[in-house]
Amino acid sequence: MALTVTDFVVVNAAKELIDRSPSPTLRISSSFYDSPLPSSSKPFQSRYCTASDSANSSKSSWNSTPIIRARSIPFTTIPRTFATSATKMSVAVPTDFNKVLYQSLTEADPEVQQIIENETYRQFSGLELIASENLTSLATMEANGSILTNKYSEGLPGARYYGGNEYIDQLEILCQQRALKTFNLDPKVWGVNVQPYSGSTANFATFTALLQPQDRIMGLGLPSGGHLTHGYYTAKKKISASSIYFQSFPYNVDPATGYINYDELKKNADLFKPRMVICGGSAYPRDWDYAKLAEVAKTQSAYLMSDIAHISGLVAAQVQNNPFEYCDIVTTTTHKTLRGPRAGLIFFRKDRDPEIEGRVNAAVFPACQGGPHNNTIAGIAVALKQAAEPAFKEYATQVIKNSQAIAKVLSAKGYKLQTDGSENHLILWDLRPLSLTGSKVENICDLAHITLNKNAVSGDTSALVPGGVRIGTGALTSRSMNEKDMEKVAEFLDRVVQISLEIQKTSGKKLVDFMKAARESDAVKQLNQDVEAFATSFPLPGVPDTSVIKRPASH
């Protein structure tokens, strides 16, 4: 008797579906694993085939990674959790020691639920301007908070150290496919590892894969807009593990212009002779000249690595220069302009180094981390699908327009911006001409429902007392704000600085005295109210009905 499976596995079915004799066999073809899921699929849903489908396909996987081939499953051995559209049953919730497993968060832990509700209100009522943050979609949140969190799956698809990973393999392969598609990459040329827990993990796994201890690396210096993981150290201390295990020499921006000094970079590379050149940063408001960096790397026979954590969404939308044309390896986080959950990706170019795939995969696991977070990989897959859609390019374009709109207003008011503007999602505001520190402005912003971060600017002598603040437009653009709204945001920021200057006149320069006066300031309280009224007029991704958002009792 031939069977066609038309429904998915439904958890919590109670009884045998139906008595069948003899026991038929359900077959899943190898194409089940090799083919992309249909666009109509929901996360975790799969493509089904009949019992008569051939299980003997010799088709290889798209990235030559060994995958699970077709296997026969006697119908009578399928657990009682299997149901068809014709038969759906439920099992009673237990009343024993496991009853807590079925309680909602509100019932099981009201303290944590209250904190989440308070944070929801904070995000709804404020202006999120931290350049490394964004607001992810409801679908991504659902995937990230799914039952996939239960599964352990050390290894790669088709080569796991644990059983029961049939659907996890499908998910990870799907995520890999979507990652390559989103960045318009040929799977014959590029591969990707989607397991890193974060961008920092992705970066150190890359170093582990391609470098030997004490090899030399060159990355953009932190005060010039670089990132900690690119080899940062001070005169007194090695800060990042990348500076502890490797020899690091930074390149910098021109203090006069704020732009990367590529000529100086080339000269220093000739002297330092790095094994790896790193491009990418966390506070550089301009695009990158990958061709010049590739020339430097080629001259030194060095790897060229690009960390596009901040701009990956803009790169995917093709509104920034493309690092994949020049680089050997590209890393990124997934939660910034890409708008996914918090994780990392490593892309590696296979045609230049046939061993790079195995080395990168082994560096991620088992060298640097354990089993992947499958729920997060599901969230990444959803976010990548959304990033490949035309609407995402509109979003990315608007992110840049919004950044430039804020920069235009601040510049018109006479404020100093690093590089005098922006070509991406962020602005670096130099407060030193005002004799203000980034810490004071950040703290006033916190009191006024505006979230940004203090940040070093070129020429700073102390990382503990940075002279600027960093502003990003990814999150506000996700709340459907446009250039006109950014003009209002820039006015709020101007008020913050003017209030800060007034408070500093009477309180002095010590932060503790400054903050005591700020908390008592009527101007700060009024700004708080104005920002809240403005922010709550916009939607909040992940919360379709904002009427359910509750103001904290202590607010």
Name the strand (E) or helix (H) holding 160: strand 159-160
Cβ neighbour number for residue 170 with a 10 Å cutoff = 20
The catalytic residue among 27, 342, 454, 495 is 342
Judge whether 336 counts as a catalytic residue.
yes
Query: Per residue, what are the HEC states of 218-278?
Result: ECECHHHCCCHHHCCECCCCECCHHHHCCEECCECECCCCCCECHHHHHHHHHHHCCCEEE
Instruction: Name the pairing type of β-strands 344-349 and 190-193.
Output: antiparallel
What does the DSSP 8-state code read for residue 14?
-
Amino acid 275 reads R
Annotation marks residue 238 as catalytic: no
One of 65, 182, 206, 333 is an active-site residue; which one? 333
Distance, in Å, from the CA atom of 278 to the CA atom of 327, rounded to the nearest integer, reads 10
Tell me whether residue 53 is one of the annotated catalytic residues: no
Catalytic residue among 178, 216, 286, 336: 336
Q: Are 127 and 449 in contact (CB under 8 A)?
A: yes
Active-site choice (25, 109, 122, 152): 152
Task: Indicate the Cα dihedral angle 275, 277, 281, 286, nearest 10°.
Answer: 170
371 close to 168: Cβ distance less than 8 angstroms: no
Q: Is 257 a catalytic residue?
A: no
- For tokens 């690396």, the residue is 217
Catalytic option among 154, 287, 295, 353: 154
What one-character-per-residue DSSP string does 430-471 give? E-GGGT--HHHHHHHHHHTTEE-EEE--TT-S-SSS-SEEEE
From 128, 169, 172, 307, the catalytic residue: 307
251 given a catalytic annotation:
no
Q: Alpha-carbon torsion 30, 35, 36, 37, what sign?
A: negative
Q: Is the dihedral of CA 538, 543, 546, 551 positive or negative?
A: negative
Six token digits for residue 33: 């694993």
C-beta separation of 412 from 448 below 8 A: no
- Residue 202 CA to residue 509 CA, distance in Å, equals 40
308 Cβ partners below 8 Å, 6+ apart? 280, 315, 323, 330, 331, 332
CA 380/CA 373 separation, integer angstroms: 11
Cα angle: 237, vertex 243, 247; to 5 degrees? 115
Rounded to an integer, what distance in angstroms lies between the CA atom of residue 553 and that of residue 546?
17
Distance (Å, whole) CA 499 – CA 116 = 31
- Alpha-carbon Rg for the chain, nearest whole angstrom, is 26
For residue 152, indicate whether it is catalytic.
yes
> What is the rounded distance in angstroms from the CA atom of residue 495 to the CA atom of residue 23?
75
SS3 content of the chain, % helix, strand, coil (to 5): 40, 15, 45
Annotated catalytic residues are 152, 154, 307, 333, 336, 342
